[in-house]
């Protein structure tokens, strides 16, 4: 094959790559892609120069003296320039450490710059690398020796770097990394012997196509486990969609707590579950493409906004039913996100940011939940982040935590029998935060564990400082969260905090909810038994708002049952039921507290129901520490309510 034909053929190959890149753009931030693009452009220049010089040597057109010299100089220069880019490209694929690459780059650019200087300085003199009339290569010139030595050196670097990083090379990378210097060296040796660049041109084209297919079209490689396309292909599709402003909807599917699924059912079942899910996604009856982005995260790319929601609905319904994996029957929960482009994200980077924020938000929700993007989501998320930092700050500076005390009264005598400690946070930026603004977030982030102890310490300090409070009340109750029970030393730590301040244990009681007991029954039971043996009492909070499971109450050392406000409100509808419940609980030896008693009618109602204790706005709202203490200021014994 003649050099001209080889160059034309190579140009055609490059054109194919170019069209393919137009269809599936290379990832922008990727350094490998950048070097590849530079390489392809330089090689194209090299080919064009080649074709022009050979055209001129065949007398297809005429070149002036200086034009010929400049073209020749550029052509000669493009050879080591191309090789240097190959070195960079191979380094970035082999080392992936950009520092290593830039260190080499500086080293390699120096002889190239010197060569360029000599070639251009030689233009008028024509001693270093003279342009021959028929553009043939003469090996006796100092320039050609320099070129050969430099090229050999570059091939050597291309060979050494993969050898150096051999251990870390995976897949087809070592093959490509060694094939490149090997074939280029043969091409250069042939060039030196035959004075023909044909093989060099062919090798360059061949390696470019091979690298493009293997390194850059890796996106077309399917995921081994699920046979779905992977993230890079989606990325290219999206970049192209943004460029053309095409409309798509993305449905992101994230398996909830997949790590837990794996540890509960084993990795094999986990893998089978992902395969089943992937197969299900692939066959969903909407015009869509499915991708596996990473371990337990999938994405559907849909052409119509409405079908994203339909898909999400179908997935939600499917998750209500179990999956049969061989012998095992398992349930799966998903987090689903829907976002439309280009209306809701105008660039790929923005889309990634939004998805990340939405994922963090949807993860705070439970079981198969759907989050459809709207502009508020980012605001809500930002607010959540603000709350998290306020919580962290409050833990660092506990003076920002304020404890309010809501009195609990004896329903017969009106005497103050105790109080519930309720937390608030005073933050410099966000102001005064109520529990419903921060407790759920503190629980999701685990920060509640520290906050619980801050509240407990504060309550103990109050009891320690004020003997009158100690003498007047039975106990002050502190709320516990399910998250607190993830601390294996919870009972020990709670006791330690109480005893550290020399407070009699029975002065503290703890409130827990049914859902906590259901979540970690054995741990809760163990903690309750340990603390009960020290005289600490437990109250079941919010009874009547959840499952109201009696067997649970029998099993645990619960002293008090706190009827949720809802129970009291419902009492006119079913007074016998509530009366029966009260007498049953009394028969079981439980004390009943009515919560949220807000008006006189409700107060009268709880009196009729023979409820032992009352708490609510009607008697008192939660009070800041000084106001709570003032209740004890003017009375000799225990403060008593007069106006019930
Ligand atoms: P909770 O444990 O059920 O506390 C009772 C809530 O009812 C308090 O709200 C109290 O202010 C409110 N309340 C009292 N009387 C009435 C009334 O007559 N009507 C109505 N509608 N509400 C009344 P608060 O202080 O906003 O606390 C909300 C929730 O935050 C608490 O509900 C509790 O679950 C949680 N919480 C508060 N402080 C802490 C804490 O220190 N630790 C933990 N883990 N949770 C806490
Ligand atoms: Ca409570
Ligand atoms: Ca409650």
Highest mean pLDDT: which range of 169-183, 477-491, 511-525: 477-491
pLDDT band for 642, please (50, 70, 90 cuts).
very low
pLDDT band at 561 (very low <50, low <70, confident <90, very high): very high
- Report pLDDT for 638: 58
pLDDT in tens, 261-283: 888 889 999 999 999 999 999 88
Among the ranges 39-48, 427-436, 518-527, which has the highest mean pLDDT value? Answer: 427-436
Mutate to test the pocket of ligand 1, among 391, 420, 435, 448 (most ligand atoms within 8 A of CB): 435
Its pTM stands at 0.60
pLDDT above 70: residue 643? no
Residue 218 predicted with pLDDT over 80: no
Integer-rounded Cα Rg, in Å, for the chain is: 38
Closest atom of ligand 1 to CA, residue 598: 18
Over range 615-624, report the average pLDDT.
96
CA angle 55, 57, 58 (to 5 degrees): 65
For 3-219, give the CATH class: mainly alpha
Average pLDDT, whole number, for the chain?
Answer: 87
Do 3-219 and 385-635 share a fold? no
Residue 66 token pair: 């200086």
C-alpha distances out from residue 593 to 301, 409, 411, 470, 604, Å? 54, 9, 9, 20, 14
Q: From the alpha carbon of 484, which atom of ligand 1 is closest? A: 44
Q: Where are the domains of the chain?
A: 3-219, 229-373, 385-635
433 in Cβ contact with 402 (< 8 Å): no
pLDDT tens across 130-142, in order? 887 777 777 778 8
pLDDT value at residue 382:
85
Instruction: Tell which CATH classification among 3.40.50.10470, 3.30.70.270, 3.90.1150.10, 1.20.140.10 matches the domain 229-373.
Output: 3.30.70.270
Query: In which band, very low, low, confident or very high, does the pLDDT at 644 lie, cut at 50, 70 and 90?
Result: very low
Lowest mean pLDDT among 352-366, 412-426, 590-604: 352-366
Ligand 1 shell residues, CB under 6 Å: 406, 422-423, 434-436, 439, 448, 452, 455, 479-481, 511, 541-542, 565, 596-598, 616-617, 622
Whole-number pLDDT of residue 100: 67
Question: Residue 568: what pLDDT?
Answer: 81
Residue nearest atom 3 of ligand 1, based on CA coordinates: 542
326: nearest Cα among 272, 274, 280 = 272
Whether the per-residue pLDDT at 163 is higher than 70: the answer is yes
Ligand nearest to the CA of 596: 1
pLDDT digit string, tens, across residues 302-344 = 987 778 899 999 999 999 999 999 888 999 999 999 999 998 8
Residue located nearest, by CA, to atom 15 of ligand 1: 616
Judged by its nearest atom, the ligand closest to the C-alpha of residue 481 is: 1
Q: Tell me which residue has its CA closest to atom 13 in ligand 1.
A: 596
70-84, 193-207, 353-367, 453-467: least confidently modelled range: 353-367
- Which atom of ligand 1 is the closest one to the Cα of 597? 18
Instruction: Using DSSP, state whether 133 is helix, strand or coil.
Output: coil
Decide the pairing of beta strands 508-513 and 475-479. parallel
C-alpha distance from residue 69 to each of 7, 55, 66, 119 (Å): 21, 15, 5, 10
Among 224-233, 293-302, 386-395, the range scoring the smallest mean pLDDT is: 224-233
How remote is the CA of residue 542 from the centroid of ligand 2, in Å?
7
Mutating to test ligand 1, I would choose from 436, 439, 448, 601 the residue with most ligand atoms within 8 A of its C-beta, which is 439
Residue 88's pLDDT band (cuts 50, 70, 90)? confident
> Tens of pLDDT along 177-192?
889 999 999 999 998 8
CA of 569 to the centre of ligand 3 (A): 14
**Fold (topology level) of 385-635:** TIM Barrel (3.20.20)
443 CA from centroid of ligand 1 (Å): 15
């Amino acid at each position: 094959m003649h050099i001209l034909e080889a160059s034309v053929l190579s140009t055609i190959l490059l054109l194919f790559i170019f069209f393919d890149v137009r269809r599936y753009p290379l990832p922008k931030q990727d350094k490998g892609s950048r070097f590849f693009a530079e390489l392809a452009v330089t090689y194209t220049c090299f080919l064009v120069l080649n074709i022009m010089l050979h055209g001129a040597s065949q007398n297809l057109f005429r070149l002036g003296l200086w034009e010929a010299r400049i073209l020749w100089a550029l052509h000669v220069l493009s050879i080591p320039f191309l090789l240097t880019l190959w070195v960079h490209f191979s380094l970035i694929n082999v080392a992936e450490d950009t520092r290593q690459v830039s260190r080499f780059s500086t080293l390699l650019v120096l002889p190239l710059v010197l060569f360029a200087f000599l070639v251009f300085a030689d233009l008028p003199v024509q001693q270093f690398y003279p342009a021959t009339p028929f553009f043939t290569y003469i090996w006796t010139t100092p320039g050609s020796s320099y070129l050969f030595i430099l090229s050999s050196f570059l091939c050597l670097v291309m060979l050494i770097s993969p050898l150096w990083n051999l251990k870390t090379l995976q897949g087809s990378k070592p093959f490509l990394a060694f094939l490149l210097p090997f074939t280029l060296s043969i091409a250069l040796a042939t060039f030196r012997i035959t004075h023909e660049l044909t093989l060099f041109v062919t090798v360059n084209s061949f390696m470019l196509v091979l690298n493009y297919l293997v390194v850059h079209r890796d996106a077309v490689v399917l995921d081994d486990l699920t046979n779905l396309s992977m993230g890079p292909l989606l990325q290219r599709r999206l970049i192209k969609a943004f460029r053309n402003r095409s409309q798509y909807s993305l449905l992101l599917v994230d398996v909830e707590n997949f790590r837990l699924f794996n540890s509960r059912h084993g990795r094999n079942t986990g893998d089978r579950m992902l395969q089943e899910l992937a197969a299900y996604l692939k066959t969903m009856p909407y015009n869509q493409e499915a991708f596996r982005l990473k371990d337990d995260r999938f994405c559907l790319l849909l052409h119509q906004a409405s079908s994203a929601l339909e898909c999400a609905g179908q997935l939600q319904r499917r998750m209500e039913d179990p999956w049969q994996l061989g012998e095992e029957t398992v349930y799966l929960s998903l987090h689903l996100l829907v976002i439309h482009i280009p209306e809701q994200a105008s660039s790929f980077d923005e889309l990634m940011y939004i998805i990340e924020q939405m994922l963090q938000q949807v993860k705070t929700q439970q079981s198969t939940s759907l989050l459809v993007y709207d502009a508020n989501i980012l605001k809500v998320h930002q607010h959540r982040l603000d709350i998290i930092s306020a919580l962290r700050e409050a833990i660092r500076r506990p003076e920002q935590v304020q404890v309010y005390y809501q009195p609990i009264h004896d329903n017969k005598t009106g005497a103050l029998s105790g109080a519930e400690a309720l937390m608030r946070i005073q933050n410099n930026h966000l102001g005064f935060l109520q529990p419903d603004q921060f407790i759920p977030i503190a629980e999701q982030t685990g920060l509640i564990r520290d906050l619980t102890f801050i509240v407990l310490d504060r309550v103990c300090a109050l009891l320690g400082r004020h003997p009158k409070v100690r003498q007047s009340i039975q106990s002050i109750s502190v709320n516990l969260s399910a998250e607190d029970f993830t601390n294996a030393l919870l009972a020990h730590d709670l006791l330690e905090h109480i005893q550290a301040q020399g407070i009699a244990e029975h002065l503290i009681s703890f409130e827990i909810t049914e859902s906590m007991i259901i979540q970690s029954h054995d741990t809760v039971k163990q903690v309750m038994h340990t603390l009960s043996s020290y005289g600490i009492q437990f109250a079941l909070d919010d009874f009547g708002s959840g499952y109201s499971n009696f067997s649970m109450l029998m099993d645990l050392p619960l002293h008090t049952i706190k009827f949720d406000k809802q129970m009291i409100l419902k009492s006119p509808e079913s007074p016998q039921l509530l009366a029966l419940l009260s007498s049953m609980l009394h028969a079981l030896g439980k004390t009943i507290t009515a919560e949220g008693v807000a008006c006189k009618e409700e107060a009268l109602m709880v009196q009729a129901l023979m409820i032992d204790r009352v708490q609510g706005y009607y008697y008192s709202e939660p009070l800041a520490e000084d106001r709570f203490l003032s209740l004890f200021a003017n009375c000799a014994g225990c403060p008593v309510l007069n106006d019930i």
